[in-house]
Amino acid sequence: MYQPEYQPAFGGSVALPAPGRPLRRVADGVARALADERQRLADDLAALHRATTVGDVDLDLGTAIFTRRWWMKAGACAGLVLGAGWAALQVQPILPLLPPGFTPVQLEDARPHMIAPLALGGRTGAGPRVNARLLRPLAEPPERPRVERSVTIGSRGLAAALRNAGVSSGDVAEVTDLLGSARPGGGVRAELVLGRRETKTVPRPLESLNLRAAFDLRVEISRVEGALTIKRIPIKVDSTPLRLSGPVGSSLNRALRSAGIPAAQAGEFVRQMRHVVDFQRGLGKSDRYDIIIEQDRAETGEVRHGKLLFGAIMRKGKTPVEIGLFKGEYYLGSGEGVKKGLMKTPVDGARMSSGFGMRFHPVLGFSRMHKGVDFGAASGEPIMAAGGGTVSFAGWHGGHGRYVMIRHNKELATAYAHMSRIAVKPGQSVRQGQVIGNVGSSGLSTGPHLHYEVWLRGKAVNPVSLRFIGGAELSGRALNEFQRQMNRWRALPTLGSAPKSASSTGD
């Protein structure tokens, strides 16, 4: 049987538990060890007692006072005390063994190297005192053989930035010649090195100039045998347009911005879509946008965004509304211009009651030119602006009664007469479809109707004969070309799906 070696704790031996009655045997061993220990302590106490009372040394001064024996004991005590004092004086003190302290001058020199709080006189890091006898003043400070500078081109252009950096006019002119048509814009950084000069009165010569002259071009200008030479290093640019798609959420503009579309392109998307999608009735949160913008990515990491190329709004249960850029204008997938012409009917559900042209005037009683068309409508029906523009007149206008004129562009204006109420002020800008007033019968009128005029280049024209004023429609070859382009855009892979793409578009 395995029995580990065991060191007893009480000097005696403790019997190891044997098989059979282990507990009883342990208790017996402990009791025996305790008894042994008690006996040993009793022996020690007896020995101590003998040593202090029976021994030769008895220095008890509390008994038998002033006897001869007491005087001897007192003398022995005094001797011990004096002996101890004398011995203490013989011990060498430790402090005088240290090297002597700094002199004030040495301390001043050492201060910069001391690690001590300022309050205690530490001057860590301050320059050590220099031996003035070793200093010799220079006639003039030495010049660095070359000066490296980094300049950022400001709004005044590269030449001004170089002149500010100390480049001579001659060198600036030479650089401008070398760059030719490349005109680096504001914010571009240029690294330049100015070389050694003969005297201090002349500017340092330009040794080298490195800069991004254009998005896709880096140039290195350097001085070779006295003359500046240019090295053009093209930068590879990937011009794959950026396509993003995501839910409209609570705000289309915000959704586009958070997806990483720059403000200008996001604004353009919303502006164009406003013409073809009814934002008034609200886009649903689950409706989706799809957008493609021009994007150039340089191999050096810079990204540049360009025009809005393609946009789409996908509304639940409706066919997607797609617009595309073609020759500077936006068109719907069908080829119809996004910027629509004037609304055909400025009053909802009204029918035309009188056409344009010569007619017998029911109130005046003679024939005259009818410079607009009349729409029969109930009094109080809202009148909408036929197109976006600026209110050029709003008020009473003779036989027209309450009259509003809206200027849409340099050539085109519309006017609305006989209104019962005017809801706009002169100078106010209005959107297409915005309510500008209500149908009435003010002025020379036989009953409530809207008299509607269209003015083109200062002449009243027949609104019915106008088609696509201010708008356009693609047809034939142009339409084919546009639709091929739209198909290419539709096939472009989507980079990401917002809002996940928001973080991945920044690279």
Indicate the length of the chain as a whole number.
507
- Find out whether 408 and 391 touch, Cβ atoms under 8 Å: no
Cis peptide before 499 (omega within 30 of 0): yes
Using CB under 5 A, count the residues that bind Zn ion.
Answer: 2
Q: Which residues pair with 461 in a beta bridge?
A: 454
Which residue lies nearer to Zn ion by CB, 158 or 406? 406
Compose the 409-448 pattern: x for residues touching Zn ion by CB under 5 A, - for all others: ----------------------------------------
Give me the least distance between CB of 428 and Zn ion, in Å please. Answer: 24
Give me the least distance between CB of 404 and Zn ion, in Å please. Answer: 14
Give me the least distance between CB of 450 and Zn ion, in Å please. Answer: 8
Give me the least distance between CB of 442 and Zn ion, in Å please. Answer: 13
Q: Can you give the C-alpha Rg of the chain in angstroms?
A: 52
As to burial, measured by CB atoms within 10 angstroms (0-12 exposed, 13-18 middle, 19+ buried), residue 217 is middle
Q: Rounded to 5 degrees, what angle do the CA atoms 342, 344, 347 make?
A: 110
Give me the least distance between CB of 375 and Zn ion, in Å please. Answer: 9
Which residue lies nearer to Zn ion by CB, 268 or 374? 374
Residue whose CB is nearest to Zn ion in the complex, by number:
451
End-to-end CA distance of the chain: 77
d(CA 317, CA 222): 64
Q: Which of residues 44-73 bind Zn ion (CB under 5 A)?
A: none
Give me the least distance between CB of 417 and Zn ion, in Å please. Answer: 7
Which residue lies nearer to Zn ion by CB, 408 or 451? 451
Q: Amino acid letter at 472?
A: A
Compose the 321-360 pattern: x for residues touching Zn ion by CB under 5 A, - for all others: ----------------------------------------
User: What is residue 103's DSSP assignment?
Assistant: P
Which residue lies nearer to Zn ion by CB, 174 or 374? 374
User: What is residue 215's DSSP assignment?
Assistant: T
Q: Rounded to 5 degrees, what angle do the CA atoms 283, 381, 389 make?
A: 60
Q: Tokens 């629509």 identify what position? A: 340
Give me the least distance between CB of 372 and Zn ion, in Å please. Answer: 5
Q: Counting contacts by CB under 5 A, is residue 451 touching Zn ion?
A: yes
DSSP of 374-418: EEE--TT-EEE-SSSEEEEEEEE-GGG-EEEEEE-SSSEEEEEEE
Which residue lies nearer to Zn ion by CB, 211 or 342? 342
Q: Counting contacts by CB under 5 A, is residue 453 touching Zn ion?
A: no
Which residue lies nearer to Zn ion by CB, 157 or 376? 376
d(CA 248, CA 288): 5
Nearest to 289 by CA among 323, 316, 252, 242: 252
Give me the least distance between CB of 460 and Zn ion, in Å please. Answer: 11
- Find out whether 59 and 35 touch, Cβ atoms under 8 Å: no
Give me the least distance between CB of 486 and Zn ion, in Å please. Answer: 43
Q: Tokens 């220079």 identify what position? A: 138
C-alpha 218, offset from chain centre: 27
Q: Which residues pair with 368 in a beta bridge?
A: 359
- Judged by CB under 5 A, which stretch of 293-301, 340-348, 450-458, 459-467 contacts Zn ion? 450-458
Which residue lies nearer to Zn ion by CB, 340 or 418? 418
d(CA 462, CA 62): 144
Compose the 353-392 pattern: x for residues touching Zn ion by CB under 5 A, - for all others: ---------------------x------------------
Q: Rounded to 5 degrees, what angle do the CA atoms 52, 55, 61 make?
A: 60
- Judged by CB under 5 A, which stretch of 120-128, 182-190, 337-345, 449-457 contacts Zn ion? 449-457
Give me the least distance between CB of 408 and Zn ion, in Å please. Answer: 20
Which residue lies nearer to Zn ion by CB, 16 or 352? 352
At 354 the three-state DSSP class reads strand
Which residue lies nearer to Zn ion by CB, 222 or 354? 354
Give me the least distance between CB of 432 and Zn ion, in Å please. Answer: 22
Which residue lies nearer to Zn ion by CB, 153 or 436? 436
Nearest to 374 by CA among 359, 389, 364, 393: 359
Give me the least distance between CB of 406 and Zn ion, in Å please. Answer: 17
Which residue lies nearer to Zn ion by CB, 149 or 361? 361
d(CA 57, CA 74): 12
Which residue lies nearer to Zn ion by CB, 387 or 463? 463
Nearest to 112 by CA among 104, 121, 124, 103: 124
Q: Tokens 């109080």 identify what position? A: 380
| Residues at the site binding Zn ion, with contacts judged by CB under 5 A | 374, 451
